[in-house]
Amino acid sequence: MRTSAIVLAAGFALLAGGCGARGATPAAKDGALGAPEAPDAARVATPPPTRLPLDAYDLSAAEQFTLDSARVRLEQACLSDFGLGWTVASLVPGEQSERAFSFLDAVTAARQGYHRPVPPIAMPRFRKVPERTTTTAFNVLYGKVRSHDGKAVPAGGCERRARLRLQAGGPRLAVPEAAEFAFEAMRSTAADPGVSAAIGRWKGCMEGKGRHYAAPDEAADDPRWAPTGPAGRSGVPLTRQEIDVASDDVRCREATGLQRLWLAVESDHQKRLIDANLRHLESNKRAYAVMLANARRG
């Protein structure tokens, strides 16, 4: 779920240097798109998927929220047994597909540029208490000490206890998980010659519009609207300039077939990984189901 969200952006980043080295296609050297070479028709004949194959073996944003909430409750209950506690940042469910951050459409670009609503990350933070107490709570949470005030700390701490309770009754969650397979598929997609060529065409198209970026992630992460990280995460106000660049980006993705090709190629790579690791992925899928059932029971 969450890792597939950044697959395209990360893949573009891997390719950005290579595109610059290869240079624009002959038709794009003078700034005009010209007639781009056709993408592999067999790979892009059908509409791109709204979900990638490995999504079926990962948690949705809502499911991740359910697990995170249950884990936090269990950890807090365990810490309270030791007279300790902490607060956590707000837990807010994300969108079903964070991939929208990179897979851009004309309507979204015209309305909000590269900005996307990004839910706050549920990072634990201690109450404002003396450093010694904060360190003690941390040590109990992660099992860095064997006891606290004469009471035995569970092996692995409150974090491990919470995790084991969520996994109780199901198969052990094994690594790699679907997210790691998705990253592997992204790397394979980034190395695909057809995708690399399409990014080169996209670059030429954007240059023809006066936009100078090596790859789409550079446009999305332009410091004018993303000075502190990926677009949409910085709180920078939306500007007309950002909307115009995002809209040109979409036009060039469509003109070159880049987005459609990327999705098709990545989907192919993910299907091969699923076929080669089906038993592993199915076991983890059952583990997720048990964890969710335990979480919902409270």
How much of the chain is helix, strand and coil, in % rounded to 5?
60, 5, 40
Q: What angle do CA 31, 32, 38 make, to 5 degrees?
A: 125
**pLDDT tens digits, 141-157:** 999 999 999 999 999 99
User: Residue 123: pLDDT above 60?
Assistant: no
78-83 contacts at long range (C-beta below 8 A, 24 or more positions apart)? 78/154, 78/158, 78/161, 78/162, 79/137, 79/140, 79/141, 79/158, 81/151, 82/140, 82/148, 82/149, 82/151, 82/153, 83/149
Average pLDDT over residues 1-15: 37
User: Residue 3: pLDDT above 50?
Assistant: no
Contact 160, 154 (CB under 8 A): yes
Mean pLDDT of all residues in the chain?
A: 77
- Compute the distance between CA of residue 48 and CA of residue 84 in angstroms, rounded to an integer: 50
- Compute the distance between CA of residue 85 and CA of residue 62 in angstroms, rounded to an integer: 26
- Compute the distance between CA of residue 80 and CA of residue 71 in angstroms, rounded to an integer: 14
Contact 11, 186 (CB under 8 A): yes
> What pLDDT score does 149 carry?
92
What pTM was computed for the model? Answer: 0.69
Percent of the chain at pLDDT > 70 equals: 69
6-20, 50-64, 115-129, 281-295: which range is least confident on average? 6-20
Would you place residue 276 in the very low, low, confident or very high pLDDT band (cuts 50, 70, 90)? Answer: very high
Would you place residue 272 in the very low, low, confident or very high pLDDT band (cuts 50, 70, 90)? Answer: very high
- For the chain, what are the domain ranges? 4-297
Contact 256, 30 (CB under 8 A): no
**pLDDT tens digits, 213-225:** 999 989 998 999 8
> What pLDDT score does 30 carry?
28
Which residue has better confidence, 116 or 109?
A: 109
For residue 78, the Cα-to-chain-centroid distance in whole angstroms is 31
